[in-house]
Chains A and B, each alone.
Chain A
Amino acid sequence: MITVYSESKDIVLYILNLLHITASTLPWYVVPTLTSIVVIIIAFLFTVLNTVMVIWVERKFLGRFMDRRAAMHVGYAGLLQNFADGIKLMRKEFIIPSSSDKPAFLLSPLLYISTTLLAIAFLPLSWGFYLNNISFSLILVTAFFSLAPLSIFIGGWASNNKYTLIGGMRSAAQMIAYEIPMILTIISVIILAGSLNLTQIVTAQYKTGWYILPLFIGFIVFCVSILAEVERIPFDLPEAEAELVEGWGTEYGGVYFAFLMLTDYLRGYVGSALAVLLFLGGWTMPTYFPAYLTAFPLAGLIWFLIKVYIVFIIFVWVRASLPRVRIDQLLSIGWKKLLPLAVINLLIAIAVVSVGVWA
């Protein structure tokens, strides 16, 4: 079986061989350290590339939903448009507002980006494609995912601008409110799988069937909560461009703006990956697939990515179809509809487990 670690070790040994260094003469910790660095670089590049592709998918599908062709001139079908935009933003001047709180203003995007990237470290993508396989990876992913409201709040406050402050407060309130139904649905999955490890949850689904079948309500609640958590369009009150200019990120320009947008989509990618891992069977293929599809290396990874992109396209579809909700509608959806539904879903999970149908 191909794993990221063994492939990276091969790469490191090959490079050492090119440099005429024999690995056995080095101290014991050199090769594992270099391998870890290569693994981290591979995972980081893979994630960022996927995030850029997610943005491309969103632009193309949104364009089709709006009856137009989206980006199509740079690269084949506009594939390189996002890279061009990124380079343009990086060459722009970065302005720090004179009345802002400078250290907090610079710290907040850093916190936002780094905590989201830390969530990536615990997200397995395939049997061999993970950075670590700690026994409670689901808790850690949600923990780092839930650190974002603080950095958004700090950023909105430090910009010293009324729009950013309102946006930051809305964002923090919304994220805290929608975390509760999200975590309740995650708990229902944990009850069914009997494990906090994402790999074991996927394995359990391979044995018994996807958890979307018994927990369909939970899947809907989870997807709506994820949409609110990553501030996508029905729930993009924090950056409602008609009322708040650009919300909490108004004062950030240049490369900071590029990275904030990238992190927004990175959170969308992590959210759809979590939905696939928890409810849609992860990277495991159906048993009736022919062997030449399931056996070749990286098949699980590609199957997983196909599912992630389908979930993300559904998010784009929601964005194209629904108008933005008002703040009172947001709260009533969160507390009066999603929370009772999440509790019902939890009861269904407990009933299914205690009857023994899905275990």
Chain B
Amino acid sequence: MITDLLLLLLSFFAIFFAVGVLYSREVVHVVIYIAGLFIDLGGLYIVLSSPYVGAVQIFVYGGAVTVLLMFGVMLTKRTIKEKKEKIVTQFDYAVIVALLVSLYVGALFSYTNYPTELYYIGYYSLSNNMFGTYIGTFVLLGIVIMAAVIGGVYIVKEEDQL
């Protein structure tokens, strides 16, 4: 009962923070909303009975990544506040697409069989899964992320610097 209530509350706040990230007009507010979202996701992990992942989420994303984002924001030009142009210009199409996607995802979720009992995931089972069963996926994910970083650097670099 309490788990369901917390789940609903945390999900509501997750959506609130996500919408705040999109609609905020001030870059620093965006970082605050992202920090809230990260900490909220850590809470969701804890409620879904894998508290170790939640603690690491709060530790790494809430503590370190948001401060890095903040430093990134401090390097931007701070004239965005004055501009009042709208991001969303095709609101009606966006609503239709969002409804279709949510219908599809909802149907997908309702036809999947999930385990009804939550089982506790400590760090022993986590490390066994991560470095045992799913080690191939883990390494592949690392390679994909590294490729993304190198690609980002490649795109940002000017032609004559390559």
Contact = CB atoms under 8 A, between A and B. Distances in A.
A136 B59 CA distance: 13
Contacts, number: 59
Interface residues of B, number: 22
B58 A147 contact: yes
B74 A169 contact: yes
Contacts of A134: 51
A136 B74 contact: no
A196 B56 CA distance: 13
A150 B74 contact: no
A171 to B, nearest CB: 10
A107 interface: yes
A74 B151 CA distance: 66
B52 A154 contact: no
A-side interface mostly: helix
Interface residues of A, number: 26
Nearest to B58: A143
Given A143-B63, A150-B35, A196-B123, A104 B28 contact: yes
A146 interface: yes
Contact of B26 (A101, A136, A140, A172): A101
A153 B70 contact: yes
Contacts of A176: 64, 67
B59 A142 contact: yes
Contacts of B59: 139, 142-143, 146
Contacts of A142: 59
Nearest to B2: A29
Contacts of A149: 63, 67
Nearest to B73: A157
A321 interface: no
Interface in B17-43: 26, 28-29, 32, 35, 39
A135 interface: yes
A144 interface: yes
Interface in B58-76: 58-59, 62-64, 66-67, 70-71, 74
6 contacts: A136-B123, A139-B55, A140-B55, A146-B64, A147-B63, A150-B62
